[in-house]
Structure 1
Amino acid sequence: MIRENSPAPSDLSHALTRQAVIGLLLVLPAIFLVVSIVVVPTLYALLASLKNNGEWTLANYLTLFTTPPYPNVIANTMWISLIVTAATMLLSIPLAMFLSVQPARSATLVLVLISASLWISVLVKIYAWQVLLARNGPLNALLVEAGLVSAPVPFLYSRAPVVLSMIQFLVPYATMMMYASMRRVDWDLITAARSLGGQIWFVAAEVYWPQIRFSVVTAALVVFMLATSFYVAPALLGGPGDTMIGMQMHSDLVNRHDSGMAATAGVALSAILLGVSWVALKMAGVSFTRAAGALSR
């Protein structure tokens, strides 16, 4: 039985339609933004990578994986990014764990100080490393003055400063991504496991790790993805053997005017990162769709 003051089905249908239209209008700017800066450039790069001298072909991909210097550049990019990711996580996990058990006010203050480093331009940080590590810089002056070396050490234009500068940039990201999850850890479960005789390593692996696994894995993936895209650090601090894929893409575009190879490198890197992410998430037992949703936020 329908009450007299209940809305008619047609009125309800009109109201739902109006809400749907309003909702669509609200999300249209976001859809337009995503399509214009993500979908269209990605499709353009994919199509450009499949054309060579006006013909549709896979020749660019064959060149990328078989013709120097591309294989070495890809290997350098993956190896440097792996080292940076491992070192960043080794520094960030203990820091995030320590902050997660501190009073909220103290932890917030430290996080603000950590995030303050992100306000400084990457270029400014790189120039600071150049000054610090120069042959006549403060580090060499200190080493010579202390008698640890007899002559200035050529720190610059090698892999070490590239890795160090990338770690400095990425540690704040990893720390802040893991902090919130570690803050929500249920310590009652850990206390109960310990009181029942659980060994510290067992409790860490079976009780603590499952609660922080998602944030640690996603933080590591974000760090790895950001590391593979670095350009300024290897360009200004690295040597000839430290060329990364971003530098090679820039060279293809600016020096060789070969947009096809630059697009091919970008598409290949995206495919590699997608594969690495899938394997890492599967090994860690984390849902790929859940991680993708977290990374998009």
Structure 2
Amino acid sequence: MSSMHAITVVRPIAVLPSMLVSTDVPETDYAEWASGTTYAKDDRVILAAQHKVYQSLADSNTGNNPAAVAIPPKWIEVGPTNRWKPFDKSVSSQVVQADAISYRIKPGQAVTSLGVLNIRGGVSLRARVIDPTHGTVYDKTVALSRSPIAPGWWAWFFGERRAPTQVLLQDLPSYPGADILIDITGTVELAVGVILIGQQRQFSMGVRMGARVGIQDYSRKERNEFGDVMLVERAFARRASFSMLLTAAEVDAFNQFLTDVRATPCLWIGSSRYESTTVYGFYKNFDIVISYFNYSDCELELEGLT
């Protein structure tokens, strides 16, 4: 077989606070900042209105709003609250909640794709689309059960098992006024890195065999003065390189699409068969070679978010 299926690209819709109808994840990471409270250095607070966590940079920190600009700065932004971590531009930052995580989102426009990435401790995921007029128009449950990483009876009974870390649903019906409900069940270690919704587009006649996948590791690996290796685990980013064949009619459209999303993280799906060909990030570069009258060759290099 010379190629996999066409590359699928989902340009995500930014999930705004006004779109979040409900969730069972509380926003109680830390206490809400209070103007009359004195904070010590390294104390943390949240601003629920901004859905962010801040850390104090000084002792005797009183009356300094974390969102205000101060010289020298009194606070530093740590990141989103636990509730909003699935919607930041990071794969490694995860919303963490034991046993169950639920979100109900009203995007206000038609959505055809849902991606849930970097799942840890998941058991099942249920996705529903509920329209105010037509009711439930989509209801699918995906099992996240662990399966052997190798074939054979010994591997089935005794070998290592691996659970899926992502769910990609690309068949959501187009109902612009509908709510999207995501219910994830799992263990006490349940966590989710990304919840992404948007409309998918497909390009090329197929991603050719020979696609390259890998990661960029940002962990520190250094030797001390005695020669011992010191390892500090940090985040990593996925990488992929695809070679595709475009029809003549796709060349300008794909070139324009890549120009439009040059600074926008997207979900790139090279093949539904391999999780490693799914990259949430941006393209580093691309080249389209108009090789033939009806067809053109394209090389696309992707780099994921950490």
Length-normalised TM-score, structure 1: 0.21
| Greater per-residue strand proportion | 2
| Greater per-residue helix proportion | 1
Length-normalised TM-score, structure 2: 0.21
Ranked by relative contact order (alpha carbons within 8 Å, sequence separation 6 or more), the top structure is 1
Larger radius of gyration: 1
